[in-house]
Structure formats: C-alpha cells, structure tokens
Amino acid sequence: MMKDKVVVVTGASRGIGRAIASKMAAAGAKVVVSARSTEALESLVDEVRKQGGEAVSVPTDISKSSDVEALFDAAINAFGRVDVLVNNAGITRDNLLVRMKDADWDAVLDTNLKGAFLCTRAAAKIMGKQRVGRIINISSVVGEMGNAGQSNYCASKAGLIGLTKSVARELAKRNVTVNAVTPGFIVTDMTDTLSEKVKDSLLGQIPLGRFGEAEDIVSAVMFLASDQAAYITGQVLGVNGGMYM
C-alpha cells in the first residue's frame, strides 16, 4: 500500500512515532525517522533494514529551524521526495496554570506547535512542487476538550488543529491533504508517569472501557496516508475509545 512512498516521521524514537515508522516501513515505505535521541533512532533503522526495508535516521530537535531544514534536506538527499509527513513529536510539562513557569509554556509550545509549523512549512515546499502529498498531525483529545493541569499542552494541541485546517485550505490546490488525528489515552512512556488514581479516573471516562494502544493510532495514520483517503482534508479523526464525541 505504501510501496516506495517516502515518509518522514518526527518523534520516531519511541512510542506512537516509532510504531508508525515501523508499520510504514513494513508496508513498503522508505522512512526518514527523526527525534533527539540518536541511539534509539539507530536501533529503529537497524530493525527496519533487517526486515528488508529502507530507512535513514536524522537526529533533529524540531523546535529548531536549522535542524528542521537539515531533516528535509536529508530526506531529499536520501530518497529524492517526501510523500507523507507525520508530525508526531510532542512533550508535556504539566502544572496548574497559576504554577506554570514561562519555560514550561515555551518548551511545550515550541516543540508541539512551532515544531509542527516548521516541519509543515518545509514539507509544503517539497509537496507543492510534487503536486501531491499527505501531512498528518498528531494532536490530542485534550486539544478538543481541555484538561485541568495541561493548559500549555492543550493550547499546543488545539493550535495544531487550527494549523491543520488552515494549511489544508492553502495546500488543497496542490493536491496536498492535511489532517489531524486526536488520540485519547494511549499507553506509552508519556502516560506511564500518571498515578493509578488518575488512570482509574480516566478509564471511567472511556466508553470502550480500555486505554488505547499505539497500534490504534497507527491504523488511523495508515488510513489517512493511503490512497483511500484522497478526498479527506482538514479533518480531525478522534481515536479515543469514545472519550470525546
């Protein structure tokens, strides 16, 4: 399905991003994997190559413009084009609003929103020339419904939805689609740190009665990247077990 498509995944060193990159490679895509941790990326590239796939790793801090330029230069040097960008890298720095430090606000907005802007701008230039492309932004259910203690994170994820819809309108004439996926509570390192009490209370809000797995998000991303999703743009696909409807 993804045979020979070139896919750039940010935040591919672990969690959801790693699962997306692995599945894309298994489906025949050439993957460009980026994150800050070099070793984890190298191990992913080794795994993909052992399975007969093609991958390159580009250590990147997506909040830095020069790193993002180098990421897309490397993708073009390695594979000559970019068909799919998955803006997945993200961080949390949770605190109640009145206790939130400027640095925690800035770090989250710089990574989750500015990082996606920088990658989207770089990809748009390439995809615009190709006259085809797919951009998939990993937002969050809390960007839609809000969450006490996560005002910085929720603002970044709601901002990502605004970015998705605006860029979808700008790039449609070039046959580039832009969509967002909003995961609910997915079991990864990011959610591992929550207390059992918080996890129990979250579980009570999920009609399907379970937390999500990275694979649940992978399936949505694979669909939006596929030919079957050619007529879908500017949309927000909730993958949250019914937590928000």
> Which residue bears the tokens 């996926």?
181
Q: Select 7 or 62, whichever has its Cβ closest to ligand NAP.
A: 62
Residue with tokens 């180098």: 70
Task: Determine which residue in the list 133, 183, 238, 241 makes contact with ligand NAP, applying CB under 6 A.
Answer: 183
Rule CB under 6 A: choose which of 90, 133, 159, 241 binds ligand NAP.
90
Among 70, 132, 190, 202, binds ligand NAP (CB under 6 A): 190
Distance CA 226, CA 136 (A): 11
Shortest Å, Cβ 71 to ligand NAP = 9
Is position 57 an interface residue for ligand NAP (rule: CB under 6 A)? Answer: no
CA torsion through residues 189, 145, 119, 103, sign: negative
Judged by CB under 6 A, does residue 201 bind ligand NAP?
Answer: no
Q: Does 174 bind ligand NAP (CB under 6 A)?
A: no
Is residue 68 a contact partner of residue 60, using CB atoms and an 8 Å limit? Answer: yes
Q: Which of 42, 47, 54, 61 binds ligand NAP (CB under 6 A)?
A: 61
Checking phi first, is residue 52 left (phi over 0); if not, alpha (psi -120 to 50) or beta? left
**122 belongs to the binding site for ligand NAP (CB under 6 A):** no
Interface residue with ligand NAP among 2, 7, 9, 10 (CB under 6 A) is 10
Q: What are phi and psi of 162, to 5 degrees?
A: -60, -40
Q: Report d(CA 143, CA 157) in Å as an integer.
A: 5
153 is annotated as an active-site residue: yes
Asked if residues 123 and 222 have their Cβ atoms less than 8 Å apart, the reply is: no
The span from the CA of 108 to the CA of 81, in Å, is 30
Q: Rounded to the nearest 5 degrees, what angle is found at the Cα of 34, between the Cα atoms of 29 and 39?
A: 110
CB of residue 220 vs ligand NAP: minimum separation in angstroms?
Answer: 12
- Residue of 153, 185, 239, 241 with catalytic role: 153
Sole window of 11-19, 75-83, 172-180, 219-227 interacting with ligand NAP (rule: CB under 6 A): 11-19
Residues near ligand NAP (CB under 6 A): 10-17, 35-37, 60-63, 88-91, 111, 138, 140, 183, 185-186, 188-191
Active site residues: 153
